[in-house]
Amino acid sequence: MERKPVIYAALLGNVAVAVTKFAAAAVSGSSAMLTEGFHSVADTGNGLLLLIGERVSQRPADRGHPFGHGKELYFYTVIVAVLIFGVGGGISVYEGILHVIDPRPAANPTMNYIVIAIAATFEGISWTFAVKGFLRLRGQGRSVWQVVRSSKDPTMVAVFFEDTAALAGLAVAAAGIYLSERLKMPVFDGIASITIGVLLCVVSLVLLRESKDLLIGEAASPAVLATIRRIAENERDVARVGRIMTMHLGPEEILLNLDLQFQEHLSAAEIASTVRRLESRIAQADDRVKHIFIEARAWTGAGAGSGIPDAAHTQVPTE
């Protein structure tokens, strides 16, 4: 899976960065650096959760879950978003407020700058992996927000935003330390912590919104729906294409329910043959459509038809 290298890169980078940041915070006493340490710990835990979600979502279908476990990936992404908000953003804001109320100058700002440079290097390496994965989702001609709204793979989006927020947080932490030292006002260190926390909360809310839509059952993209409709309408034995209902069971798995009315002269055997032909063409056009159910009715010319039990529900094998 293309997602795993991106998650592993983020996970290893976050572990290295967290250790470095906490060491610097212990030496210098910087609130912003301590906040950044908590941020990296939260990101490390998030990476582990995404890996767990990736693994369990690949479990095969069983009697209790006939369509598989693909949606577990969305569930774990929701948990990650909550942790970013609570552990990352919440602790950052809390620590920042404490430092604003009782500001204390950093003992060794030079150490903090060195750590920020090291952390930025690790985060930058991880971020390049995340950007490559995100660009594959983006394609051409779409904005970042359009990708976020249309993507069915919240894992890639989560890692990209996490790493981007981490780099932005390092820049804010460096600015807070610099202003605290330059202006002799350690309160800026606390303000930097609050700013980092707010940034993480915004990222969390974006991920929560997108993951929630996928978890409760989001339809395939308009482009996929248009392709399915075109294939069905081009079938000579189909008189009318009715409702097309889709739902993502995972980033690479779509369930399709297609309502069709067939020409009046067709026999049940001919309808069944047409259904199999449609299933094959749809699956070839988009291999993510792994579960296809076709509601078939004979065309009477008035829009209503009689049921055809033999061809009412058919499914493409998932393997």
| Predicted confidence (pLDDT) per residue in 148-176, tens digit | 777 788 888 888 888 888 888 889 988 98
pLDDT at 118: 86
Q: Distance between CA 70 and CA 74 in Å, rounded?
A: 8
The arithmetic mean of pLDDT across residues 113-126, rounded, is 84
Is 306 found in the same domain as 205?
no
Percent of the chain with pLDDT strictly greater than 70: 87
Task: With beta carbons less than 8 A apart as the criterion, state whether 277 and 262 touch.
Answer: no
pLDDT at 229: 94
Q: State the pTM of this model.
A: 0.74
Residue 317 lies in a domain: no
> Which of the four pLDDT bands, split at 50, 70 and 90, describes residue 234?
very high
Pick the last residue of a domain from 217, 238, 254. Answer: 217
Q: Which of 301, 6, 256 is nearest to 154 (CA)?
A: 6
Q: Using the structure block, give the residue that is written with the tokens 């609570």.
A: 86
Residue 288 lies in a domain: yes
User: What are all long-range contacts of 244-248, with beta carbons under 8 Å and residues at least 24 apart?
Assistant: 245/219, 246/219, 246/220, 246/289, 247/217, 247/218, 247/219, 247/220, 248/70, 248/152, 248/214, 248/217, 248/218, 248/219, 248/220
Is 276 found in the same domain as 234?
yes
Pick the last residue of a domain from 147, 182, 217. Answer: 217
CATH code at 301?
A: 3.30.70.1350
Is 242 found in the same domain as 154?
no
Pick the last residue of a domain from 171, 189, 217. Answer: 217
Tens digits of per-residue pLDDT, 121-151?
888 888 888 888 777 766 655 677 777 777 7
Is 238 found in the same domain as 204?
no
Is 226 found in the same domain as 213?
no
Q: Is the pLDDT of residue 311 over 60?
A: no
* Domain encompassing residue 170: 3-217
pLDDT at 316: 39
Is 110 found in the same domain as 43?
yes
DSSP 117-175: HHHHHHHHHHHHHHHHHHHHHH-SS--HHHHHHH-S-HHHHHHHHHHHHHHHHHHHHHH
Residue 319 lies in a domain: no
Provide the number of structural domains found in the chain: 2
